[in-house]
Amino acid sequence: MLKKGDRKIIRAWAMYDWANSAYSLVITSALFPIYFHAITTEGGGNTVRFLGRTFNSDSLQTYALSAAFLIIAFINPLLSSIADYSGRKKRFMYFFCTLGSLACASLYFFDSIEVLWIGILGSVFAAIGYAGSIVFYNAYLPEIAEPQDQDRVSAKGFALGYIGSSLLLIFSLSMVLFPDVYGGIEKGTAIRLAFLLVGVWWFGFAQITFYRLPDNVYGRPSSGHYLFNGYQELRKVWNELRHTARLRTFLISFFFYNMGVQTVMYVATLFGDGELHLPSEILIAIILIIQFVAIGGAYLFSRLSKKFGNLKALAISIVTWIGICIGAWFCDKRFGVNEQNMFIGLAAVVGLVMGGIQSLSRSTYSKLLPETIDHASYFSFYDLCDKFGTVLGTFAFGYINELTGSMRNSIIVLAAFFVLGILLLLRVGPQRQLAAEPVG
């Protein structure tokens, strides 16, 4: 039986955030969106042919992400229940980590529009690897930390992720900005090397996590018929979820507000590039600002939760996100504002609440779980809300952009997601009830 509170295990667990956050920053937020936009618009247009259809190049990228998260949303609940039944959580996590890191490395070969399929498939499988591994990673939180420590431990993971990914991005940028130091390397080659480095970084540092984390926490006997019994496990957890009112309400709230959070994280660079036409150097600097502010934000909201409770701290964060959406809509020269300065200011606020809302959401859900040993199965439903929300959010953003020709119109929908999220959060119940509730 794993002893909760073991510092070595908690540090090793948090190191996986350090490892996989390089994908979140370099591939999804910083370099790959800008590189993809540059490759697909080399001829001067903003459309591209893929699978026999013409797409807006920016929308195609959001559709690819939607497809990846849709795939993982369908397979992860069953895989998680199999992992719970078989006691092989770490092996599933290892598989998806390997898939994601190899996919990131494969993007090195995406060097022209002629191999667009490499860029699309590489980004899709990288997203599947990231999303697939994270559900098993999150499921360890209630197993390694006591409820009163889970906010702090969750924040530690996110903070390490922001630090580690920022260090790798800074090194990658040094290759782009100072090519002479690296033997006169070309800009495109430097960026593709960064994608390769993400794969190596992710897989390499993840070995620290895999070395320390136990595989079969509860000592379950390993037996056959995994698919059938995994399905039975999934159905059992689903039935339990139907009878845990606060947990169910929180999940629905999380589905809506996280839909807005994830969409902003994935499309912020596209908005700054395609809508505001900010230079790539400014965009990358903004992303670094977000990362470093987010480190403090994760710990700030951990403290706010200690003072006011998780639910009030989450509500403060969601209200701030609504303000960010309003500010982004008004980030337009027509309103007499300096777009670049306003976007930088909004980015700083995003950083402040980004780490807080992600960290608190994970620990709040963990605290609401009933007494169980099926943590991966329960977290698969948390992940399901996360992934389906990301699918719908990124698809809606891309579709409205394609339909209206402006990403600014998509922001209105994001604000609506946050409003629905906070209205549902208010129905979860008072803070004093934030503890595992009996099933039934």
pLDDT in tens, 83-112: 766 677 898 899 999 999 999 999 999 998
Lowest mean pLDDT among 48-57, 119-128, 156-165, 310-319: 48-57
Res 211: pLDDT: 93
Residue 351 lies in a domain: yes
Greater confidence, 327 or 405?
Answer: 327
Residue 419 lies in a domain: yes
Res 140: pLDDT: 87
Residue 75 lies in a domain: yes
Q: Angle at which helices 7-22 and 89-106 pack, to 10 degrees?
A: 30
| Segments forming the whole domain that contains residue 204 | 7-431
- Mean pLDDT over each residue of the chain, to the nearest integer: 83
Q: What is the CATH number of the domain that holds 213?
A: 1.20.1250.20
Give the model's confidence band at 209: pLDDT under 50 very low, under 70 low, under 90 confident, else very high. Answer: very high
Residue 246 lies in a domain: yes
pLDDT in tens, 133-187: 988 898 888 888 888 888 889 888 888 998 999 899 999 989 988 889 998 999 8
Res 138: pLDDT: 85
Q: Give residue 144's identity as a one-letter amino acid code.
A: I
Counting Cα atoms < 13 Å in the Cβ hemisphere of 104 gives 33
Instruction: Read off the pLDDT of each residue in 233-247 and give the average, rounded to a whole number.
Output: 77
**Distance between CA atoms of 94 and 353, rounded to whole angstroms?**
30
pTM of this prediction? 0.75
Residue 438 lies in a domain: no
pLDDT in tens, 16-33: 999 999 998 888 877 888
For residue 435, the tally of other CB atoms under 10 A from its CB is 12
Express as a percent the part of the chain with pLDDT over 70. Answer: 90
Residue 437 lies in a domain: no
pLDDT in tens, 369-418: 887 766 777 887 887 788 788 778 878 887 888 788 777 888 888 899 99
Give the model's confidence band at 284: pLDDT under 50 very low, under 70 low, under 90 confident, else very high. Answer: confident
**Distance between CA atoms of 347 and 240, rounded to whole angstroms?**
40
How many domains does the structure of the chain reveal?
1
Residue 2 lies in a domain: no
Looking at the predicted structure, is the pLDDT value of residue 438 above 60? no
Residue 439 lies in a domain: no
